[in-house]
Amino acid sequence: MSKPIILSGMQPTGSLHIGNYLGALKNWVELQNSGQYELFFFVADLHSLTIDMKPETRRKNIRLLAAEYIASGLDPKKVTLFVQSHIPEHTELTWIFSTVTPVTELFRMIQFKDKSEHNAKNINAGLLTYPALQAADVLLYHGALVPVGQDQVQHLEMTRDCARWFNNRYGHYFPETKPLLTQFPKIMSLLEPTKKMSKSAGESHYIGMADEPKIIAAKLKKAVTATAGGGQAPGAANLLALLKQFGDKKMYTEFTAAEKNGSIRYGDLKAELASAIGNYFAGFRARRAELLANPKKLDAILEDGAERARGVAKKTMADVRKLVGLR
Ligand code: ADP
Ligand code: TRP
């Protein structure tokens, strides 16, 4: 029996934060280490073209993301690690999916609505057809399971729909895809704890995986813990959840008890958490620096990954061209 296929990716928009890590990346590494799956992970550079970013910045971010994947524990010998644009079949399959996808479905996407609202100057067609490219990413490799954070679930429902629309018209070919969520599919912002932690809100809203301990402590100092109305504040709950992940069990139990009986000192919780996160990512920071100092090695790893991915993608596209009557 062949192993189930797992696939996921992220956009190269700059250094990752602990929300990306707990919502997705940590899970990728655990799935890899379980030995039970065949895995593909990639840098979604084509998706990042929907964002207005300088070409130089994009080029830098692509390598940076690959380095952060590896520094987190992804092993290019165990997984196929590649850059999306190195495999032109992604764009070809996107076109085919865009011809079976009703536009009304695309207009329903929460991310499209959000991005259009917040970035009225750049509502490009790519933002709308984004889920067709995402479906192509997954289905080119017959991905069955896709480990992501909560915000990607709607896009993956559309991946499943794309497979169905295609299969209904051209005959059963693509598999059903399911998202794989972690225990922490939604880490909250430090300053606005009712919203998800995200790069786009600004530096002080998130803790970067590569942030130096001093920076982590300074950001946590400003983190919101109080609520106007009393009761358990979402900010406090978020910090405790982070301590559970990064700190030791005893500390977590003590702070949770103190929070319940009202004796908690948030300054102490923040200091404990800052040191826990700083220590947790010390190895990551060192490996990341090492990888970034050797871009040639990184490029060779990505070329090797592309070579392997290409083999699968070419075969899928040859089948698809036949199925739709282009050959
Ligand atoms: P950002 O919002 O910071 O730009 P992305 O949208 O690029 O992050 O997300 C990359 C991956 O990380 C996706 O799988 C996404 O679901 C996950 N992710 C992003 N933010 C969070 C978060 N706050 N909590 C959990 N997972 C997250
Ligand atoms: N849209 C995803 C994000 O913003 C990135 C992504 C692109 C992706 N293609 C994918 C995730 C395929 C999973 C599978 O995070």
Ranges for all domains in the chain classified under CATH 3.40.50.620: 5-186+294-324
Helices 295-324, 55-71: axis angle to 10 degrees equals 100
Ranges for all domains in the chain classified under CATH 1.10.240.10: 199-284
Q: Rounded CA gap, 8 and 137, in Å? A: 8
Tell me, in angstroms, the distance from the centre of ligand 1 to residue 20's CA: 5
Cβ atoms within 10 Å, residue 277: 24
* Catalytic residue chosen out of the listed positions 60, 178, 186, 199: 199
Ligand 2: residue of 20, 45, 47, 127 to mutate (most ligand atoms within 8 A of CB) is 47
| pLDDT tens per residue across span 224-268 | 997 655 566 899 999 999 999 999 999 999 999 999 898 999 999
Identify whether 297 is a catalytic site residue: no
**Residue 243: partners with Cβ closer than 8 Å, 6 or more residues away:** 251, 252, 255, 269, 272, 273, 276
Identify whether 249 is a catalytic site residue: no
Work out the average pLDDT over 101-128.
Answer: 95
* Ligand that comes closest to the CA of residue 23: 1
Candidates 3.90.1150.200, 3.40.120.10, 2.40.50.140, 3.40.50.620; correct CATH number of 5-186+294-324? 3.40.50.620
Across-strand partners of 39? 6
Does ligand 1 lie within 6 Å of residue 12's CB atom?
no
Q: pTM score, two decimals?
A: 0.96
| pLDDT tens per residue across span 270-279 | 999 999 999 9
Provide the CATH number for the domain formed by 199-284 in this structure.
1.10.240.10
Q: What is the pLDDT of residue 232?
A: 65
Ligand 2 pocket, CB under 6 A = 8-11, 44, 47, 134, 137-138, 146, 148, 152, 155
Does ligand 1 lie within 6 Å of residue 13's CB atom?
yes
Identify whether 199 is a catalytic site residue: yes
